[in-house]
Amino acid sequence: MSKFWSPIVATLKPYVAGEQPRIQNLTKLNTNENPYGPSPKAIAAMQAAVANSLKLYPDPSALALRQSIARFYGVDADEVFVGNGSDEVLAHAFVALLKHDKPLAYPDITYSFYPTYCRLFGIESVEIPLKDDFTIDLADYERPCGAIIIPNPNAPTGIGLPLSAIERLVAEHPDQPVVVDEAYIDFGGESAIPLTRKYDNLLVVHTLSKSRSLAGLRVGYAIGQRPLIDALERVKDSFNSYPLDRVAQAGAAAAIDDREWFDETRGKVIETRERVTGALRQRGFEVLPSQANFVFARHPGHSGETLAKGLRDRAVLVRHFAKPRISDFLRITIGTAEECDRLIAAIEEIV
């Protein structure tokens, strides 16, 4: 601590990102990165941006990128907001839409940035427990609240809700903003973006880090009706008018436009996920049903901590959360077929 700190700093419990270690011959399955790399068209667009335009400031409105996103989803560009990764988009949403007199509601086992943002921005919140099978029970959200945020599919469980359930949640809270964080929706879920045309209280947040293999570029976006987007823009322009540089805008737009690469690579991830799920279950693991690019699994004969350490000793890195109810689970990113073969081989040595 320092006498120069602002009072809030001492009270913060920062979000802990996934480890990015330097281990030789590492099979890295801990941070839900896409193993197949970005679209070649995105790489070409970024190279052109580097060569031609870095002496100039980027477009603060990122119009070309917003237009690409709008075309992909069949919405208007004015209904799209972009930011420096979905984490920044979410941060702006917490400030602009989720801070009210009544508490913000979200699941107790979920993306751990949510409670971090609540502490940082002074947002009262209530955590709604998942059911014993780790699913979200929407009946538990039928309570007074100021706003709601849920990931769909949820993280770290990977379990998704059907679109009909999301619509019911949004329709039952017409006076509260509802944010649906769809970081993993492209790996098996049905996006709620079409519902934004019907519901003025719905904001849907996406990232290019997962299904478009651009985790290192840091681009996220949100889609909703214009008044919600206007609120996000007001916060963004009070913080940083240029959150996305020219390289990021060019690469992200090209990635969105390359539907063929998007469909091919996410299809590979889904296929490998099903194979990994079957292989883990054959070896005695309980694996929650996943619609994400990871699986959440535990073994009745080994603690999560022991398994994570045993895998690390064999140069396979997965994510372990030392938290109540999930401390025996491992979150395992779906890598290439070869990486997942190494995972299974290492597990066989342990169990």
The tens digit of pLDDT for each residue in 274-297 reads: 999 999 999 999 999 999 999 999
More confident residue, 51 or 15: 51
Average pLDDT over residues 192-204: 98
The confidence score (pLDDT) of residue 14 equals 85
Work out the average pLDDT over 108-116: 95
Mean pLDDT score, 68-91? 98
HEC string of the chain equals CCCCCCCCHHHCCCCCCCCCCCCCCCEECCCCCCCCCCCHHHHHHHHHHHHHCCCCCCCCCCHHHHHHHHHHHCCCHHHEEEECHHHHHHHHHHHHCCCCCCCEEEECCCCCHHHHHHHHHCCCEEEECCCCCCCCCHHHHCCCCCEEEEECCCCCCCCCCCHHHHHHHHHCCCCCCEEEECCCHHHCCCCCHHHHHCCCCEEEEEECCCCCCCCCCCCEEEEECHHHHHHHHHHHCCCCCCCCCHHHHHHHHHHHHCHHHHHHHHHHHHHHHHHHHHHHHHCCCEECCCCCCEEEEEECCECHHHHHHHHHHCCEECEECCCCCCCCCEEEECCCHHHHHHHHHHHHHHC
| 190: confidence class by pLDDT, cuts 50, 70, 90 | very high
Spatial separation of the C-alpha atoms in residues 259 and 218, rounded to whole Å:
20
pLDDT at 23 over 80: no
Average pLDDT for residues 40-58, to the nearest whole number?
A: 93
Give the per-residue pLDDT at 10: 87
Share of residues in the chain with pLDDT > 70 (%): 100
Average pLDDT, the chain: 96
Check residue 163 and give its pLDDT: 98
- The pLDDT of residue 36 is 96
On the question of pLDDT at 166 being above 80, the answer is: yes
Model confidence pTM above 0.75: yes
pLDDT in tens, 227-241: 999 999 999 999 999
pLDDT > 90 fraction of the chain, expressed in percent and rounded? 92
Check whether 24 has a pLDDT greater than 80.
no
